[in-house]
Amino acid sequence: MPRRSPSDLRWSDVTPKSLFLSRRHFIGAAGALAFASTARAAEPPGDLTPREAITTYNNFYEFGFDKSDPSKYAGSMTIDPWSVEIAGLVDRPGRYDLADVLKDQPIGEHIYRLRCVEGWSMVIPWLGFPLAGLLNRVGPQSGATFVAFETLARPEEMPGVKRRLLDFPYVEGLRLDEAMNPLTLLATGLYGDPLEKQNGAPLRLVVPWKYGFKSIKSVVKITLTSGQPPTTWQRLQPSEYGFYANVNPGVDHPRWSQASERRIGEGFFAPRRDTLMFNGYAGEVAGLYTGMDLAVNY
């Protein structure tokens, strides 16, 4: 993907809302969007979480620590126009307008679980494209072994940033082979619509076999590096939040058991579910960790 000057189009003009209103529109828009196969785990994800729950129960600390803060305060965030800086060990670094990125990528539906370290889970119909597609276009160099991500930090629009609730900007990272796995998604929407701001609009990472804090929101920078990058929660509490953060019922968080989970939307008194290794995606990703002690590399 060559470096381009800013486009006259906004990212929302490339994927207009009318194309996302139903699955029928996806099929009818095949000439404009390449429809990717729905990604499936060996264990079916289950019933979809209600959209209202997905959009009102969120962790997005740039807007506050309460789960309802993102839906209350994210409306002030400006997301159009949007660009992503790609830097580090790549052949074609630069700042890419999101409209240009989306024109080059196949947007499809991917029904994934999301499992958070606190013990709650959702099943979400994401819209997006594999991160590998974008990385291949910018050309990872031979020395690149990790990918670092950075979230928008705009104190005038984000009350949590203004109050310095964390050391912003929020940063995360993956090993390059994890980033290139077909399940690793750059999401642009959910439930047939573009992402809402509290869910990480206009572009967020989704890594379905890892705890939710790895799926960084509102991405503004991607950097390929030769060494393991710092991550926000590992930097703050390394004994609780490891770099890998793979969903693992056999490795508890110091303050919570990870053996079971509560599915959001099913009611507080619904029976808890057994946590699945790698969140149910072991068939697709277990090979990435052959020979690793996952209690040490947590």
Summarize pLDDT for 235-247 with one digit per residue, the tens.
999 999 999 999 9
- What pLDDT score does 44 carry? 67
Residue 116 marked ligand-binding:
yes
Residue 225 marked ligand-binding:
no
pLDDT digits (tens, 9 = 90+) for 153-170: 999 999 999 999 999 999
In a domain, 35, yes or no: no
In a domain, 10, yes or no: no
In a domain, 32, yes or no: no
Residue 61 marked ligand-binding:
yes
In a domain, 181, yes or no: yes
Region of poorest pLDDT, from 86-90, 92-96, 270-274: 270-274
| CATH of residue 225 | 3.90.420.10
Q: What are phi and psi of 218, to 5 degrees?
A: 45, 60
Backbone conformation region of residue 195, classed left if phi is above 0, alpha if psi is from -120 to 50, else beta: beta
In a domain, 12, yes or no: no
Angle, CA of 34, 39 and 43, to the nearest 5°: 165
- Please identify which residue in the block is written with the tokens 């962790």: 59
Candidate ranges 102-106, 203-207, 269-273; pick with highest mean pLDDT: 203-207
- What pLDDT score does 1 carry? 43
Residue 17 marked ligand-binding:
no
In a domain, 188, yes or no: yes
Is residue 258 over pLDDT 80? Answer: yes
Give how many domains the chain has, as a whole number. 1
In a domain, 1, yes or no: no
Contact 55, 265 (CB under 8 A): no
Helix-strand-coil percent breakdown of the chain, rounded to 5?
25, 25, 50
Residue 204 marked ligand-binding:
yes
Residue 80 sits in which domain range? 41-289
Portion of the chain with pLDDT greater than 90, in percent: 82
- What pLDDT score does 45 carry? 80
Mean pLDDT of 277-286: 98
How far is 212 from 209, CA to CA, in rounded Å? 9
In a domain, 31, yes or no: no
- What pLDDT score does 199 carry? 98
pLDDT digits (tens, 9 = 90+) for 14-57: 444 434 333 333 333 333 333 333 444 445 687 999 999 999 99
What is the average pLDDT value for the chain, to the nearest integer? Answer: 88
Peptide bond into 45 cis (omega under 30): no
Residue 298 marked ligand-binding:
no
For residue 91, what pLDDT band results from cuts at 50, 70 and 90?
A: very high
How far is 217 from 186, CA to CA, in rounded Å? 10
- What pLDDT score does 267 carry? 82
Residue 216 marked ligand-binding:
yes
